[in-house]
Amino acid sequence: MINIIVAGPRGKMGYEAIKMINKEENFRLVACLDRKNNGKTLKEVDGLPDLDVPIYENAEECFQAVDSADVLVELTIPEVGYLHTKTAIQHNIRPVVGTTGFNSEQLEELDELLTSKNIGGIIAPNFAIGAVLMMKFSQMAAKYLPDVEIIEKHHDNKLDAPSGTAVKTAEMIRETREPKSQGHPNETETITGARGAELDGMRIHSLRLPGLVAHQEVIFGGPGQTLSIKHDSLNRASFMDGVRFSIERVFEIDGLVYGLEQLL
Amino acid sequence: MINIIVAGPRGKMGYEAIKMINKEENFRLVACLDRKNNGKTLKEVDGLPDLDVPIYENAEECFQAVDSADVLVELTIPEVGYLHTKTAIQHNIRPVVGTTGFNSEQLEELDELLTSKNIGGIIAPNFAIGAVLMMKFSQMAAKYLPDVEIIEKHHDNKLDAPSGTAVKTAEMIRETREPKSQGHPNETETITGARGAELDGMRIHSLRLPGLVAHQEVIFGGPGQTLSIKHDSLNRASFMDGVRFSIERVFEIDGLVYGLEQLL
Amino acid sequence: MINIIVAGPRGKMGYEAIKMINKEENFRLVACLDRKNNGKTLKEVDGLPDLDVPIYENAEECFQAVDSADVLVELTIPEVGYLHTKTAIQHNIRPVVGTTGFNSEQLEELDELLTSKNIGGIIAPNFAIGAVLMMKFSQMAAKYLPDVEIIEKHHDNKLDAPSGTAVKTAEMIRETREPKSQGHPNETETITGARGAELDGMRIHSLRLPGLVAHQEVIFGGPGQTLSIKHDSLNRASFMDGVRFSIERVFEIDGLVYGLEQLL
Amino acid sequence: MINIIVAGPRGKMGYEAIKMINKEENFRLVACLDRKNNGKTLKEVDGLPDLDVPIYENAEECFQAVDSADVLVELTIPEVGYLHTKTAIQHNIRPVVGTTGFNSEQLEELDELLTSKNIGGIIAPNFAIGAVLMMKFSQMAAKYLPDVEIIEKHHDNKLDAPSGTAVKTAEMIRETREPKSQGHPNETETITGARGAELDGMRIHSLRLPGLVAHQEVIFGGPGQTLSIKHDSLNRASFMDGVRFSIERVFEIDGLVYGLEQLL
């Protein structure tokens, strides 16, 4: 049985995490860290699951009170997330962190602290295993099929194009792909933008339509064949496979692992 | 039995047309019009099918000699195609024309000539029935789902982007779609071109990769749903369904029909 | 301004309909018909939108009290839906009905009643315009490309395969498609079921996976080309485009129209 | 510069291989092994490329005469392929073999012979790098997303269903996927075959249509997400990337490698 504390129970990710932990036979939720509601239990707070689990506002106090905890699932914001994570390690509690935005000094410090305690910790900017596999496979495929374009599709409320995942994918591909210019050297756009955004010779195309959620396809072409790797995400439930996987794997590692792709 | 003359037997389209006509039970190839090889038969010319069919260089002479002809399948270039077509009508031979580039005066003149002869003629810029259906369905769908983007994918030897078919599709959609701006009003491109080419608020994305041939997908989005219409073309055989269909349908119409979509 | 009564406000469809009507400038929700909550307003009932709209349990009473109503949106169950619909027509209120399961006698009676009142009514088993267009386009395409297979994908809690929509699509295609046997005459399955379900020579394939919602693709093949028509449905919001469209179109028709495809 | 001998120059694969070798700057075709045409050059044989490269019928004789050869690309049939391969190794020529059908004793013998000569050899049942990557990625993904279905699509002249590649993919997935039953435990087929072929709980669906060539999609589902890996093959050119890759990599290995996936 793995005893787990969730930080950020009122966020969308935290809420899904609590539901997931509650369903898993080998997981037990032993406490929550919240910005408010100190001293209450989950079931006493509107909108939270009907569970008899205590809430703490102070990390130090929480980890002292709940001394059986094995893992902290940290899903808040960088400002408090860093303190939560550091304090957890000091109490020999392994951190599984979805909060992004720690700087490199902080990452180094956490790694050293984990190493000195002989335990592992995981920080993952993206917990959707499918998305992480898509990026990893794309990176592998680009070694053999260097001609590649990315199509990403999102709902039409998204403000930025291309998506962060598309740019991240292209950057990961760049590490293995031999640089080359794609398309015909004399190709021309009769309407500007037709050939999409360019990143190191690769092309990224961003669609925005109602009825879409979050989708990405990476297409590789070679003589006589194409290979496509596609991820479709419906909702935040897609992150929970990665959170569960991290809770289990964090016991098998030493020090800090950054990015789920390092573990797959 | 429909007796057919093919103009342009040495072109790729002409070659496919001859093969198709030869396979159909109700079609008979009676002659070919070519820029050279006058007086020979097909089988006497290198690279042409092994058929005992006479070749003529002069249209007038051909139509006089082969007075059983019902249909001219015209697959050359506009310069000679116009004369072939006009001469055919004067001999009461129905034209099925894949040659594009006639001007509006010429189209009008051909229409009048056909009407005066009480016969029909078809000019089709695109004989691929699947592509024409894709455009027609897109035009119909845009009435109900006005948010639409187009992805077209071609081999990386193609010079222009977007493709002619993509632009034609957007123009056909424009006729039925209520004008609207798509995407979030404040959306921004962090890399130029990500949101593709813009045509009247619609977005067109052009991919160019080895291993692709000619593909287009039109995607409509509405709350909670998307509708996609996709055409994949492998080779020129895709045009032959449309040529055969036109040969059969040209007997049922009067005057000139421009575009296969008028008949589907 | 169109004044609307919604029957079934506590159902998922009813709830979405109320939200949609509330957003549309030309629509006004004037009352709801519910199995309970008589005399309350929507905002007084837990889980319903915060609107000051009266609820009635009895249809006759409702239509007499709210004499400005133009349209009844009926989203309950066949047992009460039939009475609601009939009573509405008697009060010159046009019905837009998502309830399915009326028998042919009932449909005939409703049609006669509408005709005698010189008003229109719409019954639609499927309000998702995208799905209805997919079926209609498939029916049209099968005339020219008779080789067709259907892939439908649903979440893995679905019990029956193939889906009702897939069977309906095949039946609609059958009306226009010239009967033919597909595939190679000597094809064999080395593992039973590989070639899918057979309906009149067409093949239907049913996928069931977590992470899917409701998806269908109809694929037509001809020499050198394929045409695919695909519908992806995320949630019940997809029905609201069809409900809105029906509310507007019901004023332009006489008698009963069964199926949205008759109006597209 | 790598000097290469091609066995099977008149086959479709051999023909493509010769064209590819001729284009590559670092490759040189030095001879061909053929069942006939001994003593001629390629350009003297109808239908072969216009190259001044000698043809031999006997392997021993060929390898003695052309002592500069580095690699044998063997693309014939198992009966003669085995002798070609073995003889090549005896002459310190590295074999790259597309011929399948060697038995396990033969494979073992070739491996020992290669090892004793301190050189490498590659036997690849499938040279299409995209297809091999698809299978390899599917095997990796199944560890994390065990719910999986396969759709394979081929032209309607194909006799067997499912395809060999689909079965091979499922077998490779089986090695990493924790066994589980998929779909709803109470699901039922209202038309037999809807849920496809079953292999160890996974489902395989085979489509056969004109206009298709060779396509396969492997779809993984998890809560809130799906991951799809798709390969589309147009023609035999798709194998040449793998042949070229093997010619280059065979210098870096010792002994026999069976399957391109071992090298990617």
Tell me, what's the pLDDT at A101? 82
Please answer whether residues A117 and A151 qualify as being in contact, where contact means their C-beta atoms are separated by less than 8 angstroms: no
Active-site residue identified among A84, A136, A153, A154 = A154
Q: Determine which of B207, B213, B234, B244 to mutate to test the interface with D (most D C-beta atoms within 10 Å).
A: B234
How many contacts (CB atoms, under 8 Å) link A and C?
Answer: 9
Name all chains with 3 or more CB-CB pairs below 8 Å to chain B.
A, C, D
- The distance of D111 to chain B (nearest Cα, Å) reads 35
Q: In terms of CA atoms, which chain D residue is nearest residue B155?
A: D234
Query: Quick one: pLDDT band at residue A3, thresholds 50, 70, 90?
Result: very high
Beta strands B225-233 and C225-233 are antiparallel
- The distance of C190 to chain B (nearest Cα, Å) reads 29
| A37 assigned binding-site residue | no
Residue D187 has pLDDT above 90, yes or no: yes
Task: With CB atoms and an 8 Å threshold, state whether B224 touches C231.
Answer: no
How many CB atoms within 10 Å of residue C149? 25
Separation CA B174–CA B150 (nearest Å): 13
Strands of the C94-97 sheet, one edge to the other: C55-56, C27-33, C2-7, C71-74, C94-97, C120-123, C255-258
Tell me, what's the pLDDT at D55? 97
Residue C100 has pLDDT above 80, yes or no: no
Task: With CB atoms and an 8 Å threshold, state whether D225 touches C211.
Answer: yes
Task: With CB atoms and an 8 Å threshold, state whether D238 touches A230.
Answer: no
Q: In terms of CA atoms, which chain A residue is nearest residue C231?
A: A211
Considering only the beta carbons, identify the residue of D130, D211, D238 that sits closest to B234. D211
Helix B104-117 with B78-90: angle, nearest 10 deg: 20
| Cα–Cα nearest to C202, from C215, C189, C221, C224 | C221
| Cβ neighbours of C232 in A, within 8 Å | 211
Separation CA B141–CA B146 (nearest Å): 8
Active-site residue identified among D84, D136, D153, D154 = D154
Q: In terms of CA atoms, which chain D residue is nearest residue C186?
A: D159
What domains are there in chain C, each with its CATH number? 2-123+237-262 (3.40.50.720), 129-233 (3.30.360.10)
The token pair at A75 is: 């899903």
Task: Give me the percent of chain A exceeding a pLDDT of 90.
Answer: 92
| D115 assigned binding-site residue | no
The token pair at D228 is: 């799809």
Query: Quick one: pLDDT band at residue A194, thresholds 50, 70, 90?
Result: very high
The answer to whether residue B91 is catalytic is: no
Higher pLDDT, B121 or A47: B121
* Dihedral sign, Cα of residue B48, residue B49, residue B51, residue B55: negative
| Cβ neighbours of B207 in D, within 8 Å | none
Query: Quick one: pLDDT band at residue A164, thresholds 50, 70, 90?
Result: very high
Element counts in chain A: helices (H) and strands (E): 7, 14
For the stretch C31-67, pLDDT in tens is: 999 999 999 999 999 889 999 999 999 999 999 999 8
The answer to whether residue B205 is catalytic is: no
Beta strands C120-123 and C255-258 are parallel
Active-site residue identified among C19, C117, C158, C215 = C158
Tell me, what's the pLDDT at D103? 92
Task: With CB atoms and an 8 Å threshold, state whether B227 touches C141.
Answer: no
Residue B15 has pLDDT above 80, yes or no: yes
Tell me, what's the pLDDT at D30? 97
For the stretch B237-247, pLDDT in tens is: 899 999 999 99
Query: Quick one: pLDDT band at residue B56, thresholds 50, 70, 90?
Result: very high
Residue A100 has pLDDT above 80, yes or no: no
Name all chains with 3 or more CB-CB pairs below 8 Å to chain A.
B, C, D
Instruction: Please give the mean pLDDT across all residues of chain D.
Output: 95
Count CA atoms within 13 Å of residue C193 on its CB side: 20
Query: Quick one: pLDDT band at residue B225, thresholds 50, 70, 90?
Result: very high
Q: Determine which of D208, D212, D217, D226 to mutate to test the interface with C (most C C-beta atoms within 10 Å).
A: D208
Which residues of D fall below an 8 Å CB-CB distance to A?
128-131, 133-134, 137, 140-141, 143-145, 220, 222-241, 245, 264
* Bridge partner list, D109: none
Separation CA A256–CA A254 (nearest Å): 7
How large is the ipTM? 0.89
Query: Quick one: pLDDT band at residue D214, thresholds 50, 70, 90?
Result: very high
User: Where does residue A46 rank: exposed (0-12), middle (13-18), buried (19+ CB within 10 A)?
Assistant: exposed
3 state DSSP class of B146: coil
| Cβ neighbours of B245 in C, within 8 Å | 144
pLDDT mean over C190-200 = 97
| Cβ neighbours of C143 in B, within 8 Å | 264
Residue B100 has pLDDT above 80, yes or no: no
Query: Quick one: pLDDT band at residue B79, thresholds 50, 70, 90?
Result: confident
Q: Determine which of D226, D227, D229 to mutate to test the interface with A (most A C-beta atoms within 10 Å).
A: D227
Active-site residue identified among B84, B136, B153, B154 = B154
Q: In terms of CA atoms, which chain D residue is nearest residue B210?
A: D238
Q: In terms of CA atoms, which chain D residue is nearest residue A129?
A: D144
For the stretch D87-115, pLDDT in tens is: 999 999 999 999 878 999 999 999 999 99
Considering only the beta carbons, identify the residue of A192, A204, A226 that sits closest to B197. A192
| Cα–Cα nearest to B125, from B148, B107, B141 | B107
| Cβ neighbours of B224 in C, within 8 Å | 233-240
Q: Which contacts (CB < 8 Å, 24+ apart) does range B175-180 have?
A: B175/B139, B176/B139, B176/B140, B176/B142, B176/B143, B177/B142, B177/B143, B177/B146, B177/B148, B177/B202, B178/B146, B180/B146, B180/B147
The token pair at D152 is: 């394979």
- The distance of B189 to chain C (nearest Cα, Å) reads 27
Please answer whether residues A52 and A43 qualify as being in contact, where contact means their C-beta atoms are separated by less than 8 angstroms: yes
Considering only the beta carbons, identify the residue of A184, A196, A212 that sits closest to B221. A212
For the stretch A196-215, pLDDT in tens is: 999 999 999 999 999 999 99
For the stretch D31-53, pLDDT in tens is: 999 999 999 999 999 889 999 99
Tell me, what's the pLDDT at B108? 96
For the stretch D229-260, pLDDT in tens is: 999 999 888 999 999 999 999 999 999 999 99
Task: With CB atoms and an 8 Å threshold, state whether B130 touches C223.
Answer: no
Q: Cite the beta strand spans of chain B per DSSP E.
A: 2-7, 27-33, 55-56, 71-74, 94-97, 120-123, 147-154, 160-161, 188-189, 197-199, 202-208, 214-222, 225-233, 255-258
Please answer whether residues D242 and D259 qualify as being in contact, where contact means their C-beta atoms are separated by less than 8 angstroms: no
DSSP 8-state symbol, B54: B
The token pair at D6 is: 């091609």
Considering only the beta carbons, identify the residue of B137, B140, B224 that sits closest to C235. B224
Tell me, what's the pLDDT at D236? 86
Considering only the beta carbons, identify the residue of B147, B151, B190 that sits closest to A156. B147
Which residues are CB-neighbours of D247 under 8 A, at least 6 positions away?
A: D2, D4, D27, D71, D73, D96
Tell me, what's the pLDDT at B183? 92
pLDDT mean over C94-98 = 96
Calculate the CA C2 to chain-centre distance.
21
